[in-house]
């Protein structure tokens, strides 16, 4: 793409001389070695009440540039040019980059979007020239936490490497499952090696309730609690109390990286079989929660060689099926009752 260059003060005086000599815009452009549109735009944008004059043109250009250089303060003339481009159906990104390409001003497309929607709130129609009429959501840099940081949180980067290897019992991942309209929920914990799941009912995501339920769930397994890795929800703000009560180390995954707690996310999906999305969780009983947890923990898992999480976590072997027959088999009895063919 052709890169436009700003005319210098000297070039403006040269244009003035050629204009005084009677040359038209085409001939001026040829003598200057610039595109005809550059001359046309110069006369259109930088003329005063007494027409175009080089000193005044340079002053107008410098003032416009100074007002718009940092994208924070814009003159009415700057916004008029932006609005003109938007009304020609350029997107904010196209308008911003075209203005910068031509050396007119530097402005971000986000600033243009804000201007367009401010105009809409004031009853304007600029937004009608956008390709998408959907409400624009405020966007954030990837991985940027926007709810505030949890006090004294320790990053997963500092977690011992042995946790990632899943070679010992006692490394947990923690999260919450919230019901419809944010009413009620569950604290969920998953042990990384055995896939053993714990869950408890909470009436809200308030940190005090989550802290109490988490501690109660893990207290019976205190000897099998080396680390816990939480997500960055503010409901885990009481992590220091949990760590002190259980004498364990607590770490936090990076914001918006759910795969760093992939097992916990998977376990939440298993619980959703019993508590589907869209279901209010305020009225469920603790007994119902534990029934679901028991079913999950006694379900053979391929990743465990078809042992159950319960067996691996507690180091026991249980007979899962009760279909152990001795001779004669039920099939033999069925055959003996069938009529013989004559």
pLDDT of residue 213: 96
Q: Are residues 122 and 165 in the same domain?
A: no
Which CATH number does the domain housing residue 294 bear? 3.30.420.10
Q: Are residues 168 and 301 in the same domain?
A: yes
Q: Is 320 domain-assigned?
A: no
Whole-number Å distance between alpha carbons of 71 and 125: 23
- Residue 331 sits at the vertex; the CA angle it makes with 328 and 333, to the nearest 5 degrees, is 65
Q: Is 149 domain-assigned?
A: no
Residues 6+ apart with CB under 8 A from 260: 156, 229, 253, 254
How many CB atoms lie under 10 A from the CB of residue 231? 21
Q: Is 262 domain-assigned?
A: yes
Q: Is 244 domain-assigned?
A: yes
Tell me the per-residue pLDDT of 127-160, one tens digit each, with 9 for 90 and over: 888 876 655 555 544 445 455 578 899 999 999 9
Q: Are residues 123 and 161 in the same domain?
A: no
pLDDT of residue 60: 78
pLDDT of residue 139: 52
pLDDT of residue 233: 87
Domain that holds residue 280: 156-314
pLDDT of residue 207: 92
pLDDT of residue 137: 57
Enumerate the H helices of the chain as residue ranges: 9-20, 25-32, 36-45, 54-68, 76-87, 92-101, 109-121, 161-165, 207-218, 239-246, 262-271, 286-297, 309-314, 330-337
Q: Is the dihedral of CA 87, 92, 94, 97 positive or negative?
A: positive
Q: Are residues 109 and 194 in the same domain?
A: no
Q: Are residues 178 and 213 in the same domain?
A: yes
Q: Are residues 123 and 168 in the same domain?
A: no
Query: What pTM, to 2 d.p., does this model score?
Result: 0.54
Number of domains in the chain: 2
pLDDT of residue 329: 39
How many CB atoms lie under 10 A from the CB of residue 168? 13
The secondary structure of 134-190 as a DSSP string is SPPPP---TT---S-PPTT--BGGGS-HHHHHT-SS-EEEEEEEE-GGG--EEEEEE
- Tell me whether strands 171-178 and 227-230 are parallel, antiparallel or unpaired: parallel
- Tell me whether strands 227-230 and 249-252 are parallel, antiparallel or unpaired: parallel
Boundary of a domain, candidates 59, 94, 129: 129
Q: Is 333 domain-assigned?
A: no
Q: Are 217 and 198 in contact (CB under 8 A)?
A: yes
Tell me the per-residue pLDDT of 319-333, one tens digit each, with 9 for 90 and over: 765 554 444 433 344
Boundary of a domain, candidates 111, 129, 147: 129
Q: Which residues of the chain have pLDDT under 50?
A: 1, 69-71, 140-143, 145, 324-342
């Amino acid at each position: 793409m052709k890169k436009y260059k700003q005319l210098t003060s000297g070039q403006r005086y040269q244009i003035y001389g050629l204009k005084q000599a009677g040359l038209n815009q085409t001939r001026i452009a040829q003598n200057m070695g610039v595109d005809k549109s550059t001359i046309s735009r110069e006369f259109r944008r930088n003329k005063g009440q007494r027409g175009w004059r080089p000193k005044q043109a340079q002053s107008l250009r410098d003032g416009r540039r100074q007002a718009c250089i940092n994208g924070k303060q814009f003159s009415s003339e700057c916004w008029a040019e932006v609005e003109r481009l938007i009304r020609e159906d350029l997107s904010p990104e196209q308008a911003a980059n075209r203005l910068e390409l031509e050396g007119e001003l530097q402005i971000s497309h986000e600033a243009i979007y804000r201007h367009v929607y401010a105009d809409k709130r004031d009853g304007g129609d600029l937004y009608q020239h956008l390709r998408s009429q959907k409400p624009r959501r405020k966007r954030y840099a990837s991985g940027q936490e926007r709810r505030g940081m949890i006090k004294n949180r320790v990053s997963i980067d500092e977690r011992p490497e042995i946790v990632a290897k899943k070679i010992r019992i006692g490394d947990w991942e923690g999260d919450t499952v919230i019901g419809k309209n944010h009413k009620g929920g569950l604290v969920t914990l998953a042990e990384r090696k055995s896939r053993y799941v714990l869950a408890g009912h909470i009436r809200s995501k308030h940190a005090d309730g989550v802290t109490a339920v988490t501690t109660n769930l893990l207290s019976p397994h205190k000897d099998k609690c080396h680390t816990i890795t939480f997500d960055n929800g503010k409901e885990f703000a009481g992590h220091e109390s949990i760590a002190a009560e259980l004498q364990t180390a607590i770490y936090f995954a990076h914001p918006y990286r759910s795969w760093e707690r992939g097992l916990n996310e998977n376990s939440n999906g298993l619980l959703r079989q019993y508590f589907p999305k869209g279901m209010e969780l305020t009225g469920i009983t603790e007994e119902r929660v534990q029934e679901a947890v028991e079913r999950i923990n006694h379900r053979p898992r391929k990743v465990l060689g078809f042992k159950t999480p319960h067996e691996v976590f507690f180091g026991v072997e249980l007979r899962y099926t009760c279909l152990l027959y001795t001779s004669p088999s039920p099939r033999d009895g069925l055959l003996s009752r069938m009529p013989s063919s004559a």
